[in-house]
Amino acid sequence: MPLAPGGWRLRKTMGSLPQAMGLESLPPWRRWVRRLGRFLWVMNPAAAWLFLREGRRRALAYLQHSLMLYDTRDALLFRSLEPLWVPKVAVEKAFPGLSLERIEVFHPLPRLGGVSMEELVILCALVRHLRPRRILEVGVAEGRTTLNLAFHSPPEAEIVGLDLPPEAPPAVEEQGADYRQMGLARPGLLLEGHPWAAKVRLVLADSTRIDWRESFGAFDFIFIDGAHDYASVRRDSENALRTIAPGGVIVWHDYGRAQG
């Protein structure tokens, strides 16, 4: 497949949920190289940059966020963190026949709190494999994932992207939970004028205050990545379970070690 402008072609990676990079199958020396890489990734210049620009609190919050959400425990030998709340399953095992080979992703590098490149590859691979006709993304932010889902979904697919209206009170959690806290003027900026966005219907509404099935009908694929506090995630999950079509798939972001 030709590489589209702005895209990256990725080679096959080991897949697991929620992390794409599994260590188990590697020889020991490569595991340690990978761990060192992860360590450097966590202690990345973004934390130093935040420290210089916004102070110790923001830098520590960023590090804590990275440590809690991504599989850096092995790298840091930091065993006191909460254990995984869900079992770890290779994505190819959970979805036999799914291939992580040659997935093009657009805007591969995430902003703070965005889905990692590996997670984006898995989402795109899932959509390519499952070919859902109707997709719901709860929490669009700039629209990076939405755009990638639009590219990988079948031509006739319809994507509803849900995000907060400008008048909504700020999201409960401070860290990356609200597009305004991320410095975005409005959600879906990457979708504006983009040809793939023709498939996307951006809806500005608080996901916890509407009945998704009543408002939009059933969906074959739901990606939940809106508010991150426990009560909202619970409401979104209940809404999703009512709205998912038979045989459909629901994907949650940020669930690994986070209680919400």
Binding site for ligand SAM (CB under 6 A): 113-115, 137, 139-141, 144-145, 162-164, 171, 176-179, 187, 206-208, 225-227, 232
CB of 69 to ligand SAM, least distance (A): 11
Cα separation, 1 vs 102, in Å, equals 8
CB of 194 to ligand SAM, least distance (A): 15
Tell me the two tokens of residue 132.
């859902």
CB of 52 to ligand SAM, least distance (A): 24
Cα separation, 194 vs 91, in Å, equals 30
CB of 65 to ligand SAM, least distance (A): 11
Residue whose CB is less far from ligand SAM, 231 or 241: 231
Residue whose CB is less far from ligand SAM, 35 or 111: 111
Tell me the angle at which helices 56-69 and 28-42 cross, rounded to the nearest 10 degrees.
150
Give residue number: closest CB to ligand SAM: 139
CB of 180 to ligand SAM, least distance (A): 7
Cα separation, 250 vs 244, in Å, equals 7
CB of 221 to ligand SAM, least distance (A): 13
Q: Is the dihedral of CA 93, 98, 100, 105 positive or negative?
A: negative
CB of 187 to ligand SAM, least distance (A): 5
Residue whose CB is less far from ligand SAM, 50 or 138: 138
Residue whose CB is less far from ligand SAM, 139 or 256: 139
Residue whose CB is less far from ligand SAM, 23 or 70: 70
Residue 61 buriedness (CB in 10 A; 0-12 / 13-18 / 19+)? middle
- DSSP-derived pairing of the beta strands 200-204 and 219-224: unpaired
Residue whose CB is less far from ligand SAM, 42 or 251: 251
Cα separation, 50 vs 58, in Å, equals 6
What is the four-CA torsion angle of 226, 230, 231, 236, rounded to 10 degrees? 40
Residue whose CB is less far from ligand SAM, 75 or 162: 162
DSSP string, 107-144: S-SPPTTSPPHHHHHHHHHHHHHH--SEEEEE--TTSH
Amino acid identity of residue 212, one-letter, is W
